[in-house]
Amino acid sequence: MSTEEEEEKAEDRIRNAFKERDWNEIKSTDSWAIFKIMSEFVTGFEKLSKIGPCVSIFGSARTPRDHAYYKMAEDIAAKLVRHGYGVITGGGPGIMEAGNKGAYSEGGKSVGLNIELPFEQFNNIYIDRDKLMSFDYFFVRKVMFIKYSQGFVVLPGGFGTMDEFFEAVTLIQTNKIGKFPIVLVGKAYWQGLVDWIKSSLLSHQYINEEDLDLFCVVEDATEAVKVIDEFYNKYLLSPNF
């Protein structure tokens, strides 16, 4: 799709948002959307319900293969598998590919939750064929990440990565899911965000002091996996499949 076509499609969406629709049009469009959403939930639940303990790895799709963060994500995933965990990623290129590649290289469970986008996103080759899913809806995909992960490792990324990080931390803060570990990897990258959270959110009392303990920042793969292991050891859980 050309840039002009994308812009025209975006403008059509804005115009349609203000358009009044009759009941027949609502039924014909929204009803089919509901069935599609239900289908994605059912397929996701069926495929992921028996995968065992897994850790989600988030990060930018734009990270090149020769970048230090790509190699770090690959190393983290390989170490997680050696410690008994499966790996879930967004299924695309960049950090996601690195996570699946690290898991695949060690013979571990490599899950990819792909999203259909007009650019960037395509599934990588390191996902187990029976554990590759494609979604139209971001919110359904995020439910799968949260529901079937027992930990979250977040490498540098853009808006999508921030969305995934704050989704996880919000659900933990509000007790909607268990207090699973959230690990931000790369101190230089994340320090500005952490400082802003403290200077703005905390100083305005929009969060509590203890909310800062819902995530931690580490520098390398060994530290990241150590946080996950310590969580499991604390609750006397065994991640072995």
Sequence-separated (6 or more) residues with CB below 8 Å from residue 155: 57, 58, 59, 60, 63, 69, 72, 73, 95, 161, 185, 186
Q: So what's the pLDDT on residue 233?
A: 83
Q: So what's the pLDDT on residue 30?
A: 76
Tell me if 240 is assigned to some domain. no
Question: Would you tell me the crossing angle of helices 221-234 and 68-82 to the nearest 10 degrees?
Answer: 30
Residues forming beta bridges with residue 27, ordered by sequence position: none
The boundaries of the domain holding residue 184 are 20-234
| pTM of the predicted model as reported, rounded to 2 decimal places | 0.86
Q: So what's the pLDDT on residue 64?
A: 97
Tell me if 12 is assigned to some domain. no
Q: So what's the pLDDT on residue 211?
A: 97
CATH code, domain carrying 94: 3.40.50.450
Structural domain count, the chain:
1
Tell me if 41 is assigned to some domain. yes
Tell me if 5 is assigned to some domain. no
Q: What's the CA angle centered on 220, arms 216 and 226, to 5 degrees? A: 60
Tell me if 14 is assigned to some domain. no
Q: So what's the pLDDT on residue 140?
A: 96
Tell me if 3 is assigned to some domain. no
Tell me if 10 is assigned to some domain. no
pLDDT in tens, the chain (241 residues): 566 766 677 676 666 666 666 656 666 677 888 899 999 999 999 999 989 999 999 999 999 999 999 999 999 999 999 999 999 999 999 999 999 999 999 999 999 999 877 665 678 999 999 999 999 999 999 999 999 999 999 999 999 999 999 999 999 999 999 999 999 999 999 999 999 999 999 999 999 999 999 999 999 999 999 999 998 887 655 544 3
Distance in Å from the first CA to the final CA of the chain: 44
Tell me if 13 is assigned to some domain. no
